[in-house]
Amino acid sequence: MLSLMIVPLGLAVFIGLHRVSYSTFKNPVFIGLSNYSEVLKDPSFWDAVLWNLLIILVVVPAHIILAFIAALLLDQVTGRIRGFYLAAMLLPMIVVPVIGTIVFRQLFDPSGLISWFFRVVLDERIIFNETSMKLLILIHSTWISTPFALAIFFAGLQMVPRDLIDSASIDGANRIQQVRHIVIPQLRSLFLLNAILAVMDLLRLFDNVFVLTRMNPIFHSDTMQTHLYRIAVTVKRLGKANAGAVLTVIIIMLVLIPFLIYMYREQMEER
Amino acid sequence: MQPVKNLYGRIFIHLTLWIFVLYNSVPFFWTFLQSLKTKRQANSRTPLFWFEPTFENYSELWLKKVPENFTVIICILIFILIALFIFSLIGEKLSLSSLLIRLTIFGTIAMILFSIPIFVKTAEFYDYFVNTMIVGFGTVIVSIGIASLSGYALSRYLGIAGVILIILALAFRSLPRMAFGLPYFWMGQISGLYDSNFLVIIALAAVNQPFAIYMLRSFFKEIPREIEEAAMVDGASRFEAFIKVIIPIMWPGIITTSLFTLVLVYHEFLLVRILTLKNWTLAVAMQQYLGGISDSGSLPLKSAAAVSAALPLLIIILFYQKNLIKGITAGSVKG
């Protein structure tokens, strides 16, 4: 039965090993490792990697804090209105990311709500340049990754044992102390889970950047994936893009190793 | 935590929650409004909140030309849907097998989907919609078929290899789409399958496999071993026990996992974009509305496309809402 799982994984590994040295797919020419060295020497590749890591550094804490606050507040509400709040907050998770991004971007178009707000209240026009576009990507990534974390936290909050909190409040702990000393330690594994999932998703961030920048190079805001896409589709260097893909896999694995080791320990304990 | 009793505290909580709700849903609401406007209204510099809605954009999006007997067709469609709904209600009372009911409903809906283009001249957007449905359900069937077997195996086999495999599955989840897309693109070009739904289904099934396995495993873990052992004592082979005993118990879990897979497939952009030339799914079809830097001309059309592409999934999710919440709880909290 295990082989049924190994086969698809093995297939992926097999493909992963085979994509190395084809410069054109009709008659592949073996050129060794020069694709790899070319990617590694390319400064724009490293720019993309650094920008991607920066996104992770900003978005992961931001969206976890937002989601945790929202989940705590949502836990205070009961009845039908809770369902309404939850459904409205989960919208960005359910709607297709590409559409979510288009919809988000529309607010900033000249006829959109937010640019209107900027004009009327601040008397400024929104101009897309490198800085504002990068800011927009950060805001949007936070926006789109908050709901899932919120749902997980909310589900987790229902499982925090009641008597712990009750005894703490009898001992005179105020709300902030209760959250700080009981809820957060209880949900520690969920914080980690959210962080892992968000890091994984942000490492292969593509849709949002593709839609927001419309692949316009003036914004200099390529992530790893859009950079590879540019090489593969715009410049039509399939071999180089493949080499880059292998390198990004290695980078991603390097980033993920601490998380994976932690998961491994946890699974072993559970066993 | 016990609820806050103090009045100001409650007002504060509700206000903050409303801010979150607005933060999360205003863009969608705004787009919905935009899709009902004419071009001139949509491009006005001060946003309009009160106007006469028009459905022109939707009909322009879905139909090549509006047929004369449009209302009749709509009425027939609504009638069929109501009939299906009543059938599903009565079917439970008549104690027909639930599989039969589901099969009839899915069969009828599929027939409607394929027969509409015969009566009405539909635009390309409709083809994308049908494509999305084919790819979505195809992928769900393929990946759940494989994942339920391997998830079951992993939940029963607790050796160190099992742990390593599940970690690998999680790691594979994070692999970049480019690393999958380009080899599949290459394979497609070699085998001539490029731009076919089949290749897209295979690729998407491979990509979404790890997640489905991980999730199904956590469902399988909740089933006590004794059940299938009892079946095996009674003379069933392991596989028979799996098919006849485990799967029926697991049905809710399988539905939930299928739902998540469907959502992920529906969301997939890059992979389908690489693997297709014209046979797009809805998510990819959206890109043609991106346009250049300044494309104010087609704003309402773009909004209409966004709304119509998002709606089918929202409706499916609404039907299975409980499974979704359960899935999030089971997949994450219990790990």
CATH number of the domain that residue A39 is part of: 1.10.3720.10
| CB contact residues (below 8 A), chain A span 60-119, against chain B | 69-70, 72-78, 85, 88-92, 94-100, 102-104, 106-107, 109-113, 116, 119
Amino acid at B321: Q
> How much is the pTM?
0.78
Least confident range from A60-64, A249-253, B163-167: namely B163-167
Beta carbons of B268 and B27 less than 8 angstroms apart: no
The answer for B45, left when phi > 0, alpha when psi is -120 to 50, beta otherwise, is: alpha
Strand, helix or coil at B63? strand
Concatenated DSSP letters of A172-223: T--HHHHIIIIIHHHTHHHHHHHHHHHHHHHHT--HHHHHHHTT-GGG----
Q: Are residues B88 and B213 in the same domain?
A: no
pLDDT tens across B16-44, in order? 888 888 888 888 888 888 778 777 776 66
Predicted confidence band at B296 (pLDDT cuts at 50, 70, 90)?
very low
Is A6 inside a domain boundary?
no
Contact B209, B143 (CB under 8 A): yes
Helices (H) and strands (E) in chain A, counts: 14, 0
For chain B, say whether A9 makes contact (Cβ under 8 Å): yes
On whether residue B43 sits in a domain, the answer given is no
Q: Both B79 and B132 in a single domain? A: no
A192-249: per-residue pLDDT in tens? 878 888 888 888 788 788 878 777 777 777 888 788 778 777 766 666 777 777 777 7
What's the pLDDT at B333? 45
Structure tokens at A195: 């962080």
Assigned domain for B23 exists: no
Highest mean predicted confidence (pLDDT) among A4-8, A54-58, A265-269, B155-159? A54-58
What is the Cα–Cα distance from A139 to B80, expressed in whole angstroms? 45
Residue carrying the six token digits 């994450």? B332
Q: What angle, 0 to 180 degrees and rounded to 10, lies between the N-to-C axes of helices B197-220 and A2-18? A: 140
pLDDT tier at A62 (50, 70, 90 boundaries)? very high
Does A67 reside within a domain?
yes
Does residue B208 belong to any structural domain of this protein? yes
Q: Choose the most confident range, by mean pLDDT, from A132-146, B123-137, B226-240.
A: A132-146
Is the per-residue pLDDT at B228 higher than 80?
A: no
Same domain, B234 and B105: no
Q: Chain A partners of B44 at a C-beta cutoff of 8 Å?
A: 111
In angstroms, the CA B188 to CA B198 distance is: 10
Across the interface, do A91 and B161 touch by the CB < 8 Å criterion? no
Q: Which of A77, A200, A246 sits opposite B17 (nearest CB)?
A: A77
**Overall domain count for chain B:** 2
- Asked whether residue A74 is assigned to any structural domain, the reply reads yes
B179: in domain = yes
B203 & B112 share domain: no
By the CB < 8 Å criterion, does A226 face chain B? no
Mean pLDDT of the B96-113 span: 74
Q: How confident is the model at residue B290 (pLDDT cuts 50, 70, 90)?
A: low
Q: Show the domain range for A119.
A: 19-270
In a domain, A5, yes or no: no
Task: Provide the pLDDT confidence category of residue B45 given band limits of 50, 70 and 90.
Answer: low
Here the ipTM equals 0.73
Say what the pLDDT of residue A239 is: 66
Segment B104-127 mean pLDDT: 75
Alpha-carbon dihedral sign for residues A93, A98, A101, A106: negative
> Closest partner residue to A252 among B176, B183, B185, by Cβ?
B176
Residues B148, B251: Cα–Cα separation, whole Å: 11
pLDDT digits over B143-166, tens only? 888 888 888 877 777 667 667 777
Q: Is residue B48 part of a domain?
A: no
Task: Report helix, strand or coil for B268.
Answer: coil
Same domain assignment for residues B170 and B317: yes
Question: In this structure, are residues A206 and B179 in contact, taking their beta carbons and an 8 Å threshold?
Answer: no
Residue range(s) defining the domain that contains residue B75: 68-120
Which residues 160-189 in chain B show a CB within 8 A of chain A? 160-180, 182-187, 189
| d(CA B88, nearest CA chain A) in Å | 26
Closest CA to A109 of B228, B175, B47: B47
Angle between helices B247-267 and B299-319 (to 10 degrees): 170
> Residue A4: inside a domain, yes or no?
no
Q: Is residue A8 part of a domain?
A: no
pLDDT beyond 50 at A1: no
In this predicted structure, what is the pLDDT of residue A271?
Answer: 60
Selected residue of A3, A4, A169 to mutate for chain B interface (largest B Cβ count, 10 A) = A4
Does B95 share its domain with B147? no
Q: What is the DSSP string of B307-329?
A: HHHHHHHHHHHHHTHHHHHHHHI
* Pair A97, A207: CB distance under 8 Å: yes
**3 state DSSP class of B304:** helix
Cα B32 vs. chain centroid, distance in angstroms? 20
Q: Domain check: are B171 and B206 in the same one? A: yes
| Same domain flag for B303 and B222 | yes
Whole-number pLDDT of residue A97? 81
pLDDT in tens, B168-212: 766 766 677 766 777 777 777 777 777 778 888 888 887 777 778
Partners of residue B2 in chain A, C-beta under 8 Å: 165-166, 169
Residues B297 and B248 in one domain: yes
Give Cα separations from A235 to A232, A240, B232 (angstroms): 6, 10, 59
**CA–CA separation, A164 vs A167, rounded Å?**
5
pLDDT tens string B79-103: 888 887 777 777 666 666 666 777 7
Residue with tokens 């290695």: A250
Do residues A225 and B177 touch, judged by C-beta distance below 8 A?
yes
Would you say residue A80 lies in a domain? Answer: yes
Considering only CB atoms, B306 lies closest to which of A103, A119, A200, namely: A103
Q: Which pLDDT value is given to residue B278?
A: 76
To the nearest whole percent, how much of chain A has pLDDT over 70? 81
Residues of A in contact with B35 (CB under 8 A): none
pLDDT at A165 over 50: yes
Cross-chain CB nearest to A159 (options B28, B171, B333) = B333
Instruction: Specify if A173 maps to a domain.
Output: yes
User: How confident is the prediction for chain A on average, in pLDDT?
Assistant: 76
Residue B46 binned pLDDT confidence (cut-offs 50, 70, 90)? low
Kindly report the average pLDDT of chain B as a whole number.
75
- Can you give the pLDDT at residue B326? 67
Task: Check whether residue B75 and residue B145 sit in a common domain.
Answer: no
Domain presence at residue B63: no
Contacts of B152 in chain A (CB under 8 A): 1
Of chain B, the percentage scoring pLDDT greater than 90 comes to 0
Given a contact cutoff of 8 angstroms between Cβ atoms, the answer to whether A230 and A215 are in contact is yes
- Do B106 and B139 belong to one domain? no
- Domain count of chain A? 1
Are A232 and B146 in contact (CB < 8 Å)? no
Do residues B231 and B305 share a domain?
Answer: yes
Are B178 and A241 in contact by the 8 Å Cβ rule? The answer is yes
Neighbours of B121 (CB within 10 A): 12
A181 near B CB under 8 A:
no
